[in-house]
Structure 1
Amino acid sequence: MKNSTPSFYNLAWRWHFYAGLFVIPFMIMLSLTGIIYLFKPQLDGLMYADLLQVEASGQPLTADEMLGRVQAVYPQGSIGKYQPPEDASSSALFVVKVGERTRNVFVDPYGGAILGTQDTRNNLQALARAVHSDLLIGTPGDRLIELAAGWGVVLVVSGLYLWWPRGRGAGAGVLWPRLTARGRLLWRDLHAVTGFWGALLLLFMLLTGMTWTGFWGKQFAGAWNQFPAAMWDQVPTSDRQAGELNLSHKQTVPWALENTPLPESDPHAAHNGGAAPASNATPTVGLQQVVDIASERGVHPGYSISFPATPTGVYTISVFADDPRNDATLHVDQYSGAVLGDVRWADYGLAARAVESGVMLHQGKLYGLPHQLFILFVCLMILLSSVSGLIMWWKRRPSGSLGVPPLRHDLPRWKVGVAIMIGLGVLFPLVGASLLAIWALDYLLLSRLGARRLA
């Protein structure tokens, strides 16, 4: 009697397809939202030129004067961030929260006129970035995307093994598609060839993206991204981290600084050393003074200034630059104007430099339009591989079923694949946990149901 217990290869074959069905929708979503965000500079210029561009005319207003104009229009609003004009023809930006809504308020730096507003979340770029980051549902969405990215790595590695030529020359169907083929064979070639040439690129995109996830990325940063403790020894620090300034729809501080503590301002400095209660303290440092500090310290244009959120909070000057060598994060005491922290590229460790550079390569920001077009090509390859894999599965699925296509019996037992799967499960804990869950489900339920139907 033939043993009906499935081998590990049979299980792995099924898992590869089930995981593909889970991952493919995420790969399509990530590619499409990534393309939108990739061309943010061009799209913003087309869609919001009236908000972003101004005509230079005379002496610009100070940051404090523009702040006063915005406060006059939004007297009940809470201003959380200011972004100075990047050049003479750019508007200034204030982020203002009124009730439950937060808006970007654009100001003409010459006349002080309010050019218009934009919901911080309900605009094309913010939505694309938020969907790309957490599916608009926060932490659960972040974990789902991290899980999909981890399984994407598994699929790339296992796909290379499954499709690697055995006993025949590497050519048609592996290095180039047989375009004269029709039906399932053509889709198989498109999937295999795209996967073959795009494997390293997809791995790069997945791994650089995962460094920003909330679970694996945070653990990675904690293990590899370290700053000397002495950098914060001389100033009081809060229990808040700089990463709290980042939102799913907007990046403020660089990845390297996300897990570093936010310093605290000294409220007593506002009262010449007196013991006034912190709740009565009011900032004595004006916004223009913070702008001057940024200028004096050579912070690259494009930076933003996050306002103190509490009486002991700080102004945070931060630029998440297209060229990470221009990154800067400064914390300024809101009462004395003292710079409590100033972290630049030179202070980054090897891991932080690698991650920041990888992310800028991932986002197509380092080398202008040619870089954008190359990342667009990568996204299109991912889309083609995803769609062709889905079509190939649909054409090969068992008749009248949504199950897994028949096993290719010409392939050897997947011994190397066992070690690969275990290694990836250890490297990516969410993948490992889901792999164990799938194995248990398959062993306890699916395989037994299959055997019962066969009997």
Structure 2
Amino acid sequence: MKNKTSKNIYPWIVKWHFIGGIISAPIVILLALTGLIYLFKDKYEAPQKAALAHIEQKTENKMSFQQQWQLAKKEWKKVPSGMIVPQSANEATEFISGKFSHKSHLYIDPFSQKVKGIININETDMFKVRKLHGELLLGSYGTKVVELVASWMVVLIITGLYLFWPRSGGIKAFFRVRINQSKRILFRDLHALLGFWFSLLLLIVLAGGLPWTDVFGKSYQWVQKVTNSGYPKAWEGKAIKSTPVGEPLTLDEIVMKAKAMNLDGTTIIELPEGPTSVYSVYNETTNLSAMEKIHLDQYSGEVLKKNTWADIGLMMKSRQWVMAFHQGEFGLWNWLLMIFIATGLLLLSITAIATYFFRKKTGSLSVPKIPKNLSPSMALVIAIVALGVILPLFGLSVLLIFIIDKFRSKQGVA
């Protein structure tokens, strides 16, 4: 019974692994290259940021944070939504406006009382690399293409592990590359071994990328919302209100309170939008368990609500971790590991393409054939349906390929 099931599944997995690999490989190479480049974002942008952030400390005519806030509102076409608390006296004050790709940073020298410069995220070189990595510069359509390829990569890893797993040869099969045989076998072995040893790391990296996608990402957010496993409702602070009594505290007073909190990493103050809004103090840190967000009444300075990592739901915690890992944010070890993974993925894709062309016959796509009397097992059908539900674009693509394949078979196309 075991052999019958194996024979029933194997040809189908070979075929679909082959089809998915050939479709995905060129785009995977692009994603690996752009991802590799983007890992150097901080190093590439460091000189520009350092030039704007550094100031010469003087002893007179230093603007208060409140005055700098007013200057930012006057000199900036955008509305300041936050301020990064300077960590030294030689550091310019950095105001923030917008979120994600619309985020901008304005730097003020409190001694010269002037704006030193502005960085608009969507005008930087690395933003273009990220857009190419995330959506192929094709907007929402490109995002779905990347999601489709990422979904197929998950399937390729799973099916690749099944196909690679040695049926004989013992532990040596996990390290063996047959260099004395044909080039097709050489590249096939390199591809199989790279796929096996990188499989777990690649799945983690894919888990970090998929939450950014359109279809899977929105589905993930929906489940997160329904299960109440995201940020607590109070995290954003929009429903929390200040009580207008007397004069609001100055930004300088809020900065003092924020510094006294001794938050890990970079401390950021979200600025109130109106008379009943609150000041919100939070930190950006690679030590995710140290994340905090504190909402302060802008008149009394009273803590109205405080949330920590413990208040964040499991799905959001998982998402935060894999996304940070995906971007190499956990320190040097993570950064070097991501360079290693991106390089491995690049080689994995190149060896896949080489294997195909050494295998391909002239005038044919050389897609592996399945015996006509062989039908897919129920286990395989259930697995494909399950993956199609989890990864919707994969499911739709399988349906489309299946229809095309049936049409080609009727036409007698190889």
1:435 matches 2:398: yes
* Aligned residue number for residue 204 of structure 1: 204
| Aligned residues of 2:269 and 2:282 also touching (Cα < 8 A) | yes
**Alpha-carbon distance, 1:381 to partner:** 0.7
* Aligned residue number for residue 238 of structure 2: 262
* Aligned residue number for residue 4 of structure 2: none
* Aligned residue number for residue 324 of structure 1: 288
TM-score with structure 1 setting the length: 0.73
Distance across 1 between alignment mates of 2:402 and 2:299: 59
TM-score with structure 2 setting the length: 0.79
Structure 2: runs of 5 or more not aligned: 1-7
Post-superposition, which runs of at least 4 consecutive aligned residues in structure 1 deviate over 6 A?
none
Q: Which residue identity lines up with residue 288 of structure 1 in the other structure?
A: D
- SS of the residue corresponding to residue 78 of structure 1 reads coil
Distance across 1 between alignment mates of 2:358 and 2:382: 31
Q: Which residue identity lines up with residue 159 of structure 1 in the other structure?
A: G
Please show how residues 286-325 of structure 1 align to structure 2 within 5 Å: 286-308=250-272, 314-325=278-289
Distance across 2 between alignment mates of 1:199 and 1:323: 26
* Aligned residue number for residue 409 of structure 2: 447
Q: Which residue identity lines up with residue 147 of structure 2 in the other structure?
A: E
* Aligned residue number for residue 53 of structure 1: 54
Distance across 2 between alignment mates of 1:340 and 1:26: 49
* Aligned residue number for residue 426 of structure 1: 389
| Aligned residues of 2:231 and 2:312 also touching (Cα < 8 A) | no
Distance across 1 between alignment mates of 2:388 and 2:184: 32
**Alpha-carbon distance, 1:203 to partner:** 0.9
1:62 matches 2:25: no
| Aligned residues of 2:265 and 2:284 also touching (Cα < 8 A) | no
Tell which has more relative contact order, 1 or 2 (C-alpha 8 A, sep 6+). Answer: 2
* Deviation by residue 1:373-401 (Cα, 9 ceiling, x = unmatched): 12211111111111211222233233134
Distance across 2 between alignment mates of 1:335 and 1:182: 77
- SS of the residue corresponding to residue 358 of structure 2 reads helix
Change (3 A) 1:169 1:227: closer
**Alpha-carbon distance, 1:405 to partner:** 3.9
- SS of the residue corresponding to residue 188 of structure 2 reads helix
* Deviation by residue 1:153-198 (Cα, 9 ceiling, x = unmatched): 11100111122223444536x4243455563222212211100100
Distance across 2 between alignment mates of 1:54 and 1:181: 64
Change (3 A) 1:377 1:180: farther
Distance across 2 between alignment mates of 1:312 and 1:22: 54
**Alpha-carbon distance, 1:220 to partner:** 4.5
* Deviation by residue 1:225-276 (Cα, 9 ceiling, x = unmatched): 52797x65xxxxxxxxxxxxxxxxxxxxxxxx6xx7732546xx4477xxxx
2:361 to 379, 393, 398: 398
Give the paired residue count: 397
Query: Cα RMSD over matched residues?
Result: 3.6
Higher mean Cα deviation, 144-153 or 306-315? Answer: 306-315
* Aligned residue number for residue 186 of structure 1: 186
Distance across 2 between alignment mates of 1:318 and 1:26: 38
Change (3 A) 1:295 1:371: same
Structure 1: runs of 5 or more not aligned: 1-6, 233-256, 273-282
**Alpha-carbon distance, 1:325 to partner:** 1.8
1:219 to 198, 222, 241: 222
* Aligned residue number for residue 159 of structure 1: 160
* Aligned residue number for residue 280 of structure 1: none
* Aligned residue number for residue 16 of structure 1: 17
